[in-house]
Amino acid sequence: MKHYLALVLILALITAGHLAVLKAHATASAALPAVETLDIPDQIGDYSRRGADAEIEDHVKQVLGTSMILIRDYVAPPQKFVQLTVVHSTSRRSLHFPEVCLVGGGWEIMTQTTHPVGFFFNAKKLVLVNGDMRQLVLYWFKTGDELTGNFFVNAYHWAKAQLAFGSPTSTMIKVSTLLRPGQSEEAAFETLEDFAVKLTPILQERIP
């Protein structure tokens, strides 16, 4: 009987400690400033913003359930081009498979695998074609400090954060480029990875 009571006491202490940790994390999370705008710098490493950000139509914001959408072009010498897309939301329905929009836009998926982004995480890697054009894509999700190119793993991170904090946010990040004549897919993906490696610490700092 004494052993049983001791076990119950230990379990109670462990549970109380776990709840205290969750509460502390929740309090710290609540203290973080809310993201009101996507503050992405014009200069990311040697990549410079080119032109104005794409205008997001109202019906797109309604479908995605968020107005925090950024589409911006970056360039770097000698002929590097990257288009950055960021969708940030407090609603999980906003973070769908990018493949849905790409296929809906007339692109056909040729291959889909994973691609390491430095030592940070594995992104989803897509090669798409539309007529004579070939588009290369890396995308991933960010929920808190968790980064993954797997939609279902991100859904797990979201659910875990919701249990702990009540109102998590999540972000989809996509970097893409069109293959230039004479350019290899390997070289194009090296550019996308290079940009993603330089972008990731910035997003970790600026998007909670």
- 190: CB partners within 8 A, 6+ apart: none
The predicted structure's pLDDT at residue 167: 66
pTM for this predicted structure: 0.80
The predicted structure's pLDDT at residue 119: 86
The predicted structure's pLDDT at residue 92: 67
Kindly calculate the radius of gyration of the chain based on its CA atoms and give it in whole angstroms.
Answer: 21
The predicted structure's pLDDT at residue 27: 39
The predicted structure's pLDDT at residue 208: 74
CA–CA distances in Å: residue 99 to residues 44, 78, 118, 130, 139: 26, 30, 23, 14, 10
Could you tell me the maximum CA-CA distance found in the chain, to the nearest angstrom? 79
Instruction: Tell me 79's DSSP state.
Output: T
pLDDT by position in tens, the chain (length 208): 444 333 333 323 322 333 333 333 433 434 334 455 788 999 999 999 999 999 999 988 888 888 899 999 999 999 999 999 999 988 766 677 889 889 999 999 999 999 999 888 999 999 999 999 999 999 999 988 899 999 999 888 888 887 876 667 889 999 999 999 999 999 999 999 999 999 999 999 988 7
In the chain, the DSSP E strands lie at: 43-44, 47-50, 69-76, 80-89, 108-117, 121-130, 133-143, 146-148, 170-178
The predicted structure's pLDDT at residue 93: 67
